Amino acid sequence: MPQKDSKIILGIDPGTNLLGYGVISVSDKKPSFLDMGVLDLRKEKSAYTKLAKIFQKVSSLAEYYHPDAVACESPFYGKNAQVILKLGRAQGAAITAAAMQGIEVFEYAPREAKMAIVGNGAASKEQVNIMVQKTLGVEFDPKWLDATDALGIALCHHYHSISPLSCAKSKGGWEKFLADNPDRIVK
């Protein structure tokens, strides 16, 4: 378990077939890996049972880790409106589970999270995976891409909470941001 003075962030990459989750601890502005996984719902036939299982999983993670915040990827519009509807339902089940326990929820668009982690809003899941591994100093099997996306969402929230990237330009430019955050530079 994390230190008492640390902040816990639960990241959620919602999906009705695969839901990724990742948990990080932040102490002295340094994130560290706690847990990650994928809730595999592909064999479940009922859409409503999937939503109930998402609610139960996020509730159990929240009860176990007592996160200070839940960071959830927001649905994005693709070519199929049905997909965004299903993603919105999955996200809603996860958000409700957190809200029922009084945990503050934050949403981040996929491009925003990828920009925070990789520096490119169009980055692939594989690129996010590599940067999350480097940032947290751990190695993950490539089969966990939905979970590393969730860790990326949690890291995105951490970065926004200590120094919002979206405001970097108005706070002295990228040079000042990089000077103030040397731990964010990967060599």
Neighbours of 20 (CB within 10 A): 25
Please indicate whether residue 5 is annotated as part of the active site.
no
Please indicate whether residue 40 is annotated as part of the active site.
no
User: Any alpha helices (H) in 20-167, and if so which ranges?
Assistant: 47-65, 81-100, 110-118, 125-136, 145-162
From 13, 68, 107, 139, the catalytic residue = 13
CA distance 102 to 89: 20
Q: List strands edge to edge, sheet with 30-40.
A: 30-40, 18-27, 7-13, 69-73, 104-108
From 40, 107, 112, 146, the catalytic residue = 146
From 5, 28, 35, 73, the catalytic residue = 73
Please indicate whether residue 73 is annotated as part of the active site.
yes
Q: CA 45 from chain center: how many Å?
A: 26
Residues identified as active-site: 13, 73, 146
